[in-house]
Structure 1
Amino acid sequence: MTPAMDRLHLMTVLVAVGDEQSFAGGARRLGMSPPAVTRAIAALEERLGVKLLDRTTRHVRVTEAGRRYLDDARRIIAEVDEADEAAAGTNAEPRGHLAVTAPVLFGKLYVMPGIVDYLARYPAMEVSALLVDRVTNLLEEGLDVGVRIGELPDSSMQAIGVGRVRRMVYAAPAYLERHGVPHSPAELARHTVILASSVSMSPEWKFGRQGQTVSVRVKPRLVVSTNDGAIEAAVLGLGITRLMSYQAARHVETGQLVPLLRDYEPEAVPISVVHRDGRRGSARLRSFIDLIVARLRADQALNG
């Protein structure tokens, strides 16, 4: 193994351990023995003369110097992969691993079907899906592509718009028959409110009206930690909940939920597919982005 190849190998081991936050996890990912992984990290730290990882009995944490080196290592490995794929030809079948992230419910409803389609099309590919209701840092968390809902302050990412959604309020027909339909945000005070804390613990709900923001404070009778839980409670007729329009779209189609206060809908927010900018972009990344962008743009629930 030449010194350059040896250095690339050590970088690859570091990235695997950093991503898995575990020597054993990094070893499994690379098909190496844990002692071999430990020796590789020790050799890299000795070569650089700096500590890259802090080891405890249960966890591995990247040091500040290690974080900077890890970011550079990911970029270098990605560029080498892109060079290999470019040399193999643009029509080469995508192969390797792709890490994808999206909000939990959006990922379940809209991204996961795309991932299944992608894996069916490209048998040599593997995908890791991180579904979390928080903004992820693609570079720091070793992610290749993500779906973001909302404005994008991070200009270092390449972004492709795929749709727009709104935050709206919903209730089941049975609830509305018993308690009546609210015609203004102020009337929510006399209704049972269901709050999904995964969205916000704030009791203040904001609406739009003729270019103005209308805010009301609600007192939830039920606070639930997931959007799925809030949807289920609303479908069962407990009360009114606030959701992103895509989260309720299928329940509206089946008549289980009814959108309310349509005259007070806030401005729509964008949905974007974001990825780290590569000079060429790997075949596996290009093929996934092409597929997921086409699927999301074609979905009426995201572009109505």
Structure 2
Amino acid sequence: MDRLQTMSAFVGVAEEGGFSPAARRLGMSPPSVTRAISELEARLGCRLFHRTTRSVHLTEAGERYLGDCRRILAEIDAADRQAAGIHAEPRGMVSVTGSAMFGSIIVTPIILDLLDRYPELTVSTLFVDRIVHVVDEGIDVAVRIADLPDSSLTAIRVGSVRRVLCASPDYLERHGRPTSPNGLENHEIIHFASMAPAREWVFENDGMEIRHRPSSRLVVNTAAAAINAAERGRGITRVLSYMIAPQVEAGSLEILLPEFEPPVVPVHVVHKESGHTSARVRAVIDHLVQHLRRHPVLANEDGGSA
């Protein structure tokens, strides 16, 4: 057998968990699959599977080799599709990650529109409030709200969001409106811990940085809780501007001290593929970039590669 056939047999056995189910999937006889794996192991000079009478498990070398084989076979499949003239019709699975709230209210509607456009495309999302390691966790595309460190990943800037203070009109009527960060000392503060883990709020005015450590009787770990408490008139909180765009438009929350806001936080679409990007991943990247750059909560600023 040639290399591609043996690699396909190896991936089939690894994914199906046995030689017989892999043979059925590949349209081969079980002895042919067994022979293919033996040839592959002989060529590589290492064992790829631990075999017992009841089970087949990957060795450490097999685990490493599986990822490479999947990538190579996917690239070959993409090349075949391009040559056949169907590269413009993306199909297959693409994984997308982002923060929980941004993913839910901003990214999900864009993905739904994408699925309507490409019936053969499948998207799996991971919207969580933690750093997702794109390469280690096998993620295709990420939407990041942060200043990005240098890395091997490709990043496309699509806009920015602001770190804003807000409170309800009812609260402001009862307690007054602060005119500077120092004035926050006289107000009830709802501290959203993820926005400032060190419990310190940073402001900026005329190029000068101002630091304020708010005293708070309510500390919450989600933006939804902070926003809910603020809408109920329980105090002033700090969140990202996109999180309260509907409330500001409806008039249930008002933004405070905009002249003291720190620099904006950039938003990027990040992906790990460079050079030849598969049609399925490219379709998701292009769709996200196009729609996020037009989204009103991202300040409509022009983006570029970073």
Compute the displacement of 1:247 (Å): 1.1
Partner of 1:7: 7
Q: Which position in structure 2 is the counterpart of 1:281?
A: 277
What is the aligned counterpart of 1:157 among 143, 150, 153?
Answer: 153
Deviations 1:255-278 (A, max 9, x none): 111111111110112111111123
Mapping for residues 216-295 of structure 1, pairs under 5 Å: 216-295=212-291
Summarize deviations over 1:207-254 as a string: whole Å, max 9, x none.
111112111111222122211111111111111111011111121111
Q: Distance in 2 between matches of 1:52 and 1:267?
A: 53
Residue 84 of structure 1 deviates from its aligned partner by: 3.0
1:137-156 mapped onto 2 (5 Å cutoff):
137-156=133-152
Q: Shift in Å at residue 51 of structure 1?
A: 7.8
Task: Give the Cα–Cα distance (whole angstroms) in 2 for the partners of residues 162 and 69 of structure 1.
Answer: 36
Q: 1:69 to 1:220 in 2, by over 3 A?
A: farther
**Contact kept? 1:74, 1:142, Cα under 8 Å:** no
What is the aligned partner in structure 2 of residue 175 from structure 1? 171
- Indicate conservation of the 8 Å contact 2:48/2:58, yes or no: no
**Separation (CA, whole Å) in 1 of partners of 2:96 and 2:269:** 10
Q: Read off the aligned partner of 1:137 and give its amino acid letter.
A: H
Deviations 1:275-296 (A, max 9, x none): 1123321111122222111111
Residue type of the alignment partner of 1:103: S
Code of the aligned partner of 2:7? R
Q: Who is 1:56 aligned against?
A: none
Instruction: Kindly provide the amino acid, as one letter, of the partner of residue 150 in structure 1.
Output: A
Q: Which amino acid aligns with 2:140?
A: D
Structure 1: gaps of 5 or more residues:
18-22, 54-59
**Residues 115 and 122, structure 2, Cα contact 8 Å, conserved in 1:** yes
Matches within 5 A, 1:49-198: 49=46, 69=65, 72-73=68-69, 75-89=71-85, 91-198=87-194
Counterparts in 2 of 1:158 and 1:90: CA distance versus 1, 3 Å = farther
Distance in 1 between residues matched to 2:77 and 2:160, nearest whole Å: 34
CA distance in structure 2 between the aligned counterparts of 1:71 and 1:151, rounded to whole angstroms: 30
Residues 173 and 50 (structure 1), Cα distance of their counterparts in 2 relative to 1, 3 Å cut: farther
**What letter matches 1:108 in structure 2?**
S
Identity over aligned residues, as a percent? 44
Provide the residue aligned with 1:202 in structure 2: 198
The SS at the match of 2:101 is: helix
* Aligned with residue 212 of structure 1, among 205, 208, 225: 208
Give distance in 2, aligned partners of 1:240 and 1:66.
55
Distance change (3 Å), C-alpha of 1:77 and 1:4: closer
Count, aligned residues: 277
CA distance in 2, matches of 1:138, 1:292: 17
State the match for 2:53 in structure 1: none
CA distance in 1, matches of 2:234, 2:110: 33
Instruction: Give the TM-score of the pair, scaled to structure 2.
Output: 0.79
> Which segment drifts farther, 73-82 or 178-187?
73-82
Instruction: Note if 1:298 corresponds to 2:294.
Output: yes
State the superposition RMSD in angstroms: 3.1
**SS at 1:128 equivalent:** strand
